[in-house]
Structures are given as C-alpha cells and as structure tokens.
Amino acid sequence: MSYYAPEAHKYLTFWPRFWAPVVDELILWLPTVLIGIPVALSGGDLSLFASLSLTALYFIYSIHMHGTYGATVGKITTRIRVVDAETEQPITYRQAFLRDSVPLGFTVVLVLVGFGGGRSTKELQAEIGLIFLGWFLAEIVTMFANDKRRAIEPRRAGWCVDGLAVWEIRMTKRRLASSLNPCT
C-alpha cells in the first residue's frame, strides 16, 4: 500500500489555499484593530505611520512564517505547506522574500507615489487594495492554468503549495528510515 497521495491529488489545494488567508487575516486583524483604529482616529502623521507599520506587519508575518515554517498559521490550520518545487522541502527565507516581493514592491511604489502626490491615506489604501485585488485575480487565473496549481509567484521563486498530509508522511518516513539506519 502506498502512503503517497496520487500525483493528481497532491496539488488539489484550492479550498485550503482559499481559507488560509482568511485565517491569517483574522490573526492580523487583532493588532490592526488594537493599534490602527485609535491611531487613525488621532489623525495626522501618526495615522500615516501606523498605516504603513500595519502594512509592513503583514509582510513581516508572511516572510517570517514561510521562511521559518514553510507556512503561515492559516496554511498550517488548513494543512498545506509551501515547498521548494524541486526538493519538496520547506522554502528558504530567500524564496519567502521572493514570494512576497511583487506585492511588497507594489506597496512601496504606491506609498512613495502617495507621499509625493499629496494623496490621503484613505485614497492610498484604496489604490493598494485595487492593485492587490488585480494581483490576486491574476494569481487565481494562472493557478487554474497548470497541473501543479502554481500561480505567478511560485513560477518565479521556484516553489509550490503541497498538501501537508503528504509532506508529513514523507518526513515521517524519512525520519523513520534514518533512525533505523545508524550510519546516516
């Protein structure tokens, strides 16, 4: 009996990938509310600083969690993991950074344009939201267009989303094999 999921089922992770960001947003919602709302109500430069800090918090969370664990809390909860496309091991910090580089780049450009263009924080947040929505839709379309369900980012950075159950079985088998062979 094989412990590996059939290759065709291994990448069927649409619904877990759909729900994982929802869980992550719920986690990030708490600091946003506790910090963001009181500061936003105060107005002024502090409001803009808080908005930028909370935006940076998302990227720090994503890069740290993917670089350390190969998954955010949302992905762990939905039992998926981001792995290197060739080795099927958790991704590195470099790959985690590359994974978030396009949305991070969009955000940096919009913030710089926002400072120079005299836009309000609300206008800037709306523009960032629209760009992220466009990026998200492009990712969804690309994801459905290939067998491994890889979106735009994974193709650039060399990673894919794998079902965690398959990954856990492989790691357990490797640990078991290495514990039985004292020479390795």
Note the pLDDT tens digit of each residue in 120-155.
667 766 777 787 788 778 777 776 766 655 555 544
How far apart are alpha carbons 129 and 159 in whole angstroms?
25
Residue 162: per-residue pLDDT: 52
Domain-located, residue 2: no
**Total number of domains in the chain:** 1
Q: Show the domain range for 22.
A: 9-178
Query: What are residue 84's DSSP bridge partners?
Result: 159
Domain membership of residue 79 (yes or no) is yes
Residue 22, in any domain of the structure: yes
pLDDT at 166: 44
Confidence at residue 163, expressed as pLDDT on a 0 to 100 scale: 52
Q: How far apart are CA 80 and CA 95, in angstroms?
A: 17
Helix (H) and strand (E) counts in the chain: 9, 2
pLDDT in tens, 67-119: 999 999 999 999 888 888 788 888 899 999 998 888 888 777 776 766 666 66
- Taking CB atoms within 8 Å and a gap of at least 24, the contacts of 26-32 are 27/61, 27/73, 27/74, 28/57, 28/58, 28/61, 31/57
Is 34 a residue whose pLDDT tops 60? Answer: yes
In a domain, 48, yes or no: yes
At residue 31, the pLDDT reads: 82
For residue 33, what are the β-bridge partners?
A: none
Banded model confidence at residue 64, pLDDT cuts 50, 70, 90: very high
Q: What pLDDT does residue 50 have? A: 73
